[in-house]
C-alpha cells in the first residue's frame, strides 16, 4: 500500500497544501512547529478515522475556520483510491471514497492502513492500561473492520450504564439489560484482543530477540477481569456473572468498574515485568518490536504492508536501534519527520514552513 498524494485545506496550520509522496522513503523536514506532525496526523486520519493525538475533530480545523478538508490518493497492489474527509466545527464529518455517498466507519476503516511510531509510544510499556488498549483497538480495527462497530457499541452501552449508576437510585431491571448487552459485547472484544495479542507476541518476540542478540525473550499476557476462558460463550457467561456479583459495589461507587474497558496485557522480558524492571533502552526496544510487529501482522492479515509513519522517533533512538528500525522498513513506503535526513537515503524530501510545502 502506497500513499501518492495528500491535500490539506484549513487543516491545523496548513491553509492549502498539496503534497506528493514517492513510493520509498520520504522525509519531511522543517523547524519546530512548522507542521511536520500535522502532515502525518492528516494521513493517519484515514487509517483510524480520528487523530492519533487523541483529540477532537474540531481541534484539527485551522484556527478561525468553520471547516477543514483532507484528501489522499493511495494505491494497493490492484486499485487506486481517492478518499476525502470534511471536518466540521459542529463535529459532523463526512468521509467519502471518490464521489461516493458519505461512508460509515465499517465502509472506510481498513481501506487505507498505516502504522505510526511516535515518542509517546513509550507509554505502551510504561503507561496505564488505556494506552495498551488503544494501541490494540486501533491495530485490530484496521485489519478487522467489523471490530470497530462492536467497540463503538460497547462504549455507547457502557456510557448508558455509567449514566444510570451516576443517577443513583438504580432501576435493577435496566441495569440487568445493560449488563447482558455489555457481557456479550465485552466477550467479542476480549476474544479479539486476546487473539491479536497472541499473534503480536509471536512477531514481536522475533524482533526483540533480533535487537538484543537473542538475549531478551518477550512475552505478552492478555489479562481480563473475567479470567481465563475457552470460548466466547463461556467468556460472556463469566462477564455476566462478574457484573452481577459486583453490581452492589458499582452502585455504591456510581461507576462501572468491570468489563472489557479494564482489559490489559502484561509485557515481560525474560518473565519479568518490563514496566517495573526494564531499563529505558529495553523499554524502547520493546515498543519498536511491538510497532514493527503491528506492521508485520497487518501485512499477514491483509496481504499488503501498511504505510509506515515515523514521527520524530529517530532523534530519540541510539545509533543501533535507529539502524535496526530503518533496516526493517527500508523497502516499504516510509514517511519520516525530523531533519536527520543525512542518516539514510531518501527518495523524496519535503520541506514545511508555517504549514506551507516546498520540495
Q: Tell me which residue has its CB nearest to Mg ion.
A: 37
Q: Which of 8, 19, 27, 36 binds ligand ATP (CB under 6 A)?
A: 36
Contact between 49 and 85 (Cβ < 8 Å) = no
Q: Kindly state whether residue 118 participates in binding Mg ion, applying the rule CB under 5 A.
A: no
Using rule CB under 6 A, residue 114 touches ligand ATP = no
* 13/163 Cα distance (integer angstroms): 37
Q: Nearer Cβ to ligand ATP, position 275 or 356?
A: 356
| Residue 118 contacts ligand ATP per CB under 6 A | no
Site for ligand ATP in 71-90 (CB under 6 A): none
x-marked contacts with ligand ATP along 138-177 as a string, rule CB under 6 A: ----------------------------------------
CB 96 within 8 A of CB 103: yes
| Residue 346 makes contact with Mg ion by CB under 5 A | no
**DSSP label at 144?**
-
Give the span between the Cα atoms of 102 and 289, in whole angstroms. Answer: 37
The answer to the question of residue 35 lying near ligand ATP (CB under 6 A) is: yes
SS3 (DSSP) at 291: helix
Closest CA to 127 of 269, 292, 264, 316: 264
Q: Which of 37, 142, 190, 224 binds Mg ion (CB under 5 A)?
A: 37
Q: CA nearest 358: which of 12, 9, 19? A: 19
Beta-sheet pairing, 2-11 with 14-20: antiparallel
CA dihedral 100, 103, 107, 112 (to 10 degrees): 80
Using the contact rule CB under 6 A, the part of the chain among 29-37, 78-86, 94-102, 298-306 near ligand ATP is 29-37
Span interacting with ligand ATP, options 26-34, 81-89, 102-110, 215-223, rule CB under 6 A: 26-34
Stretch that binds Mg ion, among 34-42, 82-90, 198-206, 223-231 (CB under 5 A): 34-42
Q: Residues 78, 1: contact at Cβ < 8 Å?
A: no
Q: Which residues bind ligand ATP (CB under 6 A)?
A: 12-13, 30, 32-38, 59, 61-63, 312, 337
Amino acid at each position: 500500500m502506497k500513499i501518492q498524494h495528500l491535500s490539506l485545506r484549513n487543516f491545523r496550520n496548513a491553509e492549502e497544501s498539496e503534497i506528493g509522496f514517492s513510493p520509498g522513503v520520504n522525509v519531511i523536514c522543517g523547524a519546530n512547529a512548522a507542521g511536520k506532525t500535522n502532515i502525518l496526523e492528516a494521513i493517519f486520519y484515514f487509517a483510524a478515522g480520528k487523530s492519533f493525538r487523541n483529540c477532537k475533530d474540531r481541534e484539527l480545523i485551522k484556527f478561525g475556520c468553520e471547516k477543514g478538508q483532507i484528501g489522499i490518493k493511495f494505491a494497493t497492489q490492484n486499485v487506486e483510491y481517492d478518499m476525502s474527509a470534511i471536518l466540521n466545527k459542529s463535529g459532523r464529518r463526512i468521509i467519502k471514497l471518490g464521489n461516493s455517498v458519505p461512508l460509515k466507519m465499517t465502509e472506510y476503516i481498513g481501506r487505507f492502513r498505516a502504522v505510526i511510531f511516535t515518542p509517546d509510544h513509550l507509554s505502551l510499556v510504561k503507561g496505564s492500561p488505556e494506552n495498551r488498549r488503544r494501541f490494540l483497538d486501533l491495530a485490530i480495527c484496521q485489519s478487522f473492520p467489523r471490530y470497530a462497530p462492536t467497540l463503538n457499541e460497547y462504549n455507547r452501552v457502557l456510557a448508558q450504564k455509567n449514566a444510570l449508576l451516576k443517577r443513583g437510585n438504580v432501576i435493577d431491571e435496566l441495569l440487568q439489560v445493560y449488563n447482558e448487552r455489555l457481557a456479550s459485547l465485552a466477550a467479542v472484544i476480549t476474544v479479539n484482543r486476546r487473539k491479536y495479542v497472541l499473534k503480536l507476541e509471536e512477531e514481536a518476540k522475533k524482533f526483540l530477540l533480533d535487537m538484543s542478540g537473542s538475549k531478551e525473550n518477550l512475552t505478552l499476557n492478555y489479562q481480563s477481569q473475567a479470567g481465563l476462558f475457552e470460548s466466547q460463550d463461556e467468556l460472556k457467561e463469566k462477564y455476566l456473572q462478574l457484573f452481577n456479583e459486583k453490581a452492589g459495589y458499582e452502585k455504591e461507587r456510581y461507576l462501572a468498574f468491570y468489563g472489557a474497558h479494564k482489559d490489559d496485557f502484561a509485557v515481560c522480558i525474560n518473565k519479568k515485568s518490563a514496566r517495573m524492571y526494564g531499563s529505558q533502552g529495553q523499554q524502547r526496544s520493546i515498543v519498536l518490536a511491538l510497532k514493527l510487529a503491528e506492521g508485520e501482522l497487518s501485512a499477514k492479515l491483509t496481504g499488503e504492508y501498511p504505510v509506515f509513519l515515523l514521527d520524530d522517533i529517530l532523534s530519540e533512538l541510539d545509533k543501533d536501534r535507529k539502524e535496526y528500525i530503518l533496516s526493517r522498513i527500508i523497502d516499504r513506503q516510509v514517511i519520516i519527520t525530523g531533519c536527520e535526513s543525512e542518516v539514510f537515503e531518501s527518495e523524496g524530501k519535503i520541506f514545511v514552513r508555517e504549514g506551507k510545502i516546498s520540495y
